A and B are shown apart, each in its own frame.
Chain A
Amino acid sequence: MDKPQIITHLEKGMNHTLYDCKWIPRSARFVTLGSHPRGTGAINVFEINQRELQLVKECETPTSFKCGTFAASSLQARNLATGDFKGKLSVWDLENMKSTFDVDAHSEIINAIDGVGGLGIGEGAPELVTGSRDGAVKVWDVRQKDAPVACMVPEEGEGKRDCWSVAFGDAYNSEERCVCAGYDNGDVKMFDLRTMSLKWETNVKNGVCCVEFDRKDIPKNKLVVSSLEGKFKVFDVRTQHPKSGFASLSENAHKSTVWLARHLPQNRDLFMTTGGSGSLSLWKYEYPPKRVKEEDGVSKGVIGSLQYLQNSTISTQPVCGLDWSPDKLGLCVTVAFDQALRVLIVTKLNRV
């Protein structure tokens, strides 16, 4: 029985909708973001005690929150960056629940946010990236208040697509950095921030609910793209072939929308996907014997395989938020549309 087990350790029902949850780094606390029934936003901070969850702080804001991240904040400050329903990007000091940075980043809801350069993850400047329904993907530096440092918007006249997900990657030195964005029509685009160019794009047929690199702070290695209709793809983004791009594999899971894919911070080859039916699946990527093959003098990536490690159905509603603890192996927090948050423990991850 060396198989990992997904154990729901703590559960708590809330009186409002929860959209996202994040561990506060270097602590046993996490923060949830959501929306009160009357359309106001909610930030709650919880702390784990032995057998219960304790609400530490709570705050109601004018607009509902959709997403948040700590990834662009220093370990000392641990400020939470949030994106809300009206397109505002804010950075919060959770100690006194005041925002330190506010910008109207987008004209519509910010669907996704990601950060890099903070928490000791990724070289270079701390930056945030936001993706919104207005079709734009914008990169922000909190030291520059009024304007994004990079902006990827659709061309005039071209129909704009709803951007559902964004992710940073490839930040292994201070110059390199790339952003990957997924859209509602199944487009996945990878932008190189150093050269400000579109590096790669593909279409996965169904709306892209989540994109995530296995690690942000290494030369880009793997990318997981999850989509509607119960499918997700894993791309080996190490080797790009001039014609066929990145090698990939496709996997069916959850029999419903795959809402999220989240890599274990302690092991880049393990990740959890969450489904629209309240299920969680744990996967392990296994590398092929040789990751690169030569084809007509051009190297081409070779994809490995996925191992289905474990699953657990924790809810009847979609699980829309999941975050692994960066400090404790196997500890994660999830939120679902059943207005409940759960602290899970996945055992035996170090033995996989």
Chain B
Amino acid sequence: MVSKRSVDSKAQQERQKQQMARGLPKQKPIAGVKQVIVVASGKGGVGKSTTAVNLALALMANDQSKSAGLLDVDVYGPSVPRLMNLKGNPELSDDNRMVPLTNYGVPCMSMGFLVEDASPIVWRGLMVMSAVERLLRQVDWGSLDYLVVDMPPGTGDVQLSVTQNIPIAGAVIVSTPQDIALLDAHRGAEMFKKVNVPVLGLVQNMSVFQCPNCQHQTHIFGSDGARQLADTLGISFLGDIPLHLNIREMSDKGQPVVVSCPDSTLVRYLISQSHGSI
């Protein structure tokens, strides 16, 4: 038998929850987009943007009937334009929404298209919030099966704004093997748990470097840490990505490795991983 007191406290908890939710934005899907996948970390410089770019391309390469878009919400350091070799200001559609720029078949939107290259965005969190809302709501994506969202480092304003505003199918967390990076990746995973976003898994980037001269392998940033963290957190380990010359050289040129070296074992591996996790 359920006591009156426990029913009361449950009802009270529900009321409290509703009251607290009143100030928060309502979660609403982005028009035309079926599933949103965020690529995040917590730590900077681990390869989120590179992974996001290649994930979007791999999803399409894996299944030609699927469409994928790429949204770069790193307002301070938008890397997607360079990685996708895209430049220019977006045009406006008839209903005043921004039209994404497309390359390699992937429509992209980024703060980088809206500001001059060397101009810093010196904004406090509140202004960033409205910019992120614009990037989420005022883009004419058309109809997409997947929207891959490249997040900035950290667990702050941008992460909160994105997770509060739109439903997210899952998050892919990227890290390097170093403990320092994994600490932040752990925080990132915890954040997603708190905001009820399923974590699809953890990718271990920059896992190993093979000397082009003698083929000797060096684990420059440590080894295996991400695998252990995935175990500890009970999330899938999505795989290792080595410091491959192609990824590094092609990034600055704006030729994502999935496009420039589609037949490489590395790319086939990335594609199979993306298929497995989505």
Answer yes or no: do A and B interact. no
Q: Which residues of B contact A (CB under 8 A)?
A: none
